[in-house]
């Protein structure tokens, strides 16, 4: 197969790549469906509340009268749910929040037919209930949450910048589109996942190094969540195409996500599950992040330098 981008830069690299070569990194793809094995272990009491939708006694939870600066995570999957700025004193006996991290909490009708239950959008863990119209804050909203469903991370332990790694074909287009996303600080083209240190473009394209063309996305977690970026990734490339993206054919162009944490892995697994249920034959692989190698300078900000537009990447709503 011929790995190509645009003739202007790559016609000198039109060397045949044998399709029969086994791409090392792709031979060890991980399971992409969430299951209980990927969740944090729970105590019997945590399971009673989180899994079986129980309720802790009022005024007994760890966070009901707690107002330190930081973030509140789902105890079962570590997804970030609330910021300390969302928390307020409601005197109801449970932690109360008048907002949430965008997309982190899902509302569903309660089994009692009256209330609205709130669950973690990432793993389905029971959090509590949501109430409106109480006029307790200007937002007129109260997420009434069980302390036992939460974890707290102090502000000083929250990273001000985070990194995410996505492989979706030619890194020019992936980099270009991510740089336009809100909350993204920078996007850098490079290589990840292979067996050669400090690889060149020629190495990755024609010497079976096992590397994928990968984009390192640096973002502000206070402005955009990892799951939001992962959703965007699945909507700016074709996750069903194997060993290529558009006209760029070669195993180095395979769709993949490299995760840093279990929470990131679970978020990607969830998104792939949603796409499969929608009928997409997702080819995207999931791998643990390893060392990222920055690509040559002429690959960085290619479309900004040339004034051209991506030829095999464009936004397409899929969720």
Q: Which residues are catalytic?
A: 144, 170
Are residues 162 and 221 in contact, defined by beta-carbon separation less than 8 angstroms?
A: yes
Residue whose C-alpha is closest to residue 76's, from 130, 129, 110, 124: 124
Question: Cα separations (Å) of 165 from 13, 52, 291, 309, 312?
Answer: 26, 35, 11, 22, 19
Residue whose C-alpha is closest to residue 76's, from 123, 15, 16: 123
Radius of gyration of the chain (CA): 22
Helix (H) or strand (E) holding 154: strand 150-154
Number of Cβ within 10 Å of residue 106's Cβ equals 14
**φ/ψ (deg, to 5) at 179:** -65, -20
The Cα 48–Cα 54 span in angstroms is: 6
Provide the CA 161 distance to its chain's centre, in angstroms. 15
Helix (H) or strand (E) holding 105: strand 105-109
Question: What residues are paired with 106 via a beta bridge?
Answer: 119
């Amino acid at each position: 197969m011929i790995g190509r981008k645009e003739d202007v830069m790559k016609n000198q690299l039109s060397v045949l790549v044998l399709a029969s070569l086994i791409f090392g990194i792709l031979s060890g793809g991980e399971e992409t469906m969430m299951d209980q094995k990927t969740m944090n272990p729970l105590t019997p009491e945590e399971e009673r509340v989180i899994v079986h939708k129980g309720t802790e006694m009022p005024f007994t939870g760890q966070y009901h009268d707690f107002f330190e600066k930081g973030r509140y995570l789902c105890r079962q999957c570590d997804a970030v749910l609330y910021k300390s700025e969302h928390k307020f004193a409601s005197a109801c006996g449970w932690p109360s929040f008048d907002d949430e991290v965008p997309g982190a909490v899902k509302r569903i009708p309660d089994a009692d037919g009256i209330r609205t239950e709130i669950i973690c959008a990432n793993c389905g863990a029971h959090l509590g209930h949501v109430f409106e119209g109480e006029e307790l804050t200007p937002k007129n909203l109260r997420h009434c949450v069980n302390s036992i469903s939460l974890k707290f991370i102090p502000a000083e332990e929250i990273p001000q910048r985070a990194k995410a790694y996505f492989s979706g074909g030619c890194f020019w287009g992936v980099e270009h589109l991510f740089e336009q996303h809100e909350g993204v600080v920078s996007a850098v083209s490079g290589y990840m996942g292979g067996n050669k240190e400090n690889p060149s473009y020629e190495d990755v394209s024609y010497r079976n190094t096992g590397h994928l063309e990968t984009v390192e996305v640096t973002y502000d977690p206070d402005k955009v969540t990892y799951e939001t970026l992962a959703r965007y990734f699945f909507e700016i490339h074709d996750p069903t195409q194997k060993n290529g993206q558009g006209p760029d054919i070669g195993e180095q162009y395979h769709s993949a996500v490299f995760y840093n944490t279990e929470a990131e892995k679970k978020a990607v697994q969830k998104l792939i599950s949603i796409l499969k249920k929608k009928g997409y034959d997702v080819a995207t692989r999931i791998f643990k992040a390893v060392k990222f190698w920055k690509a040559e300078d002429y690959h960085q900000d290619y479309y900004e330098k040339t004034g051209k537009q991506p030829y095999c990447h464009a936004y397409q709503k899929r969720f």
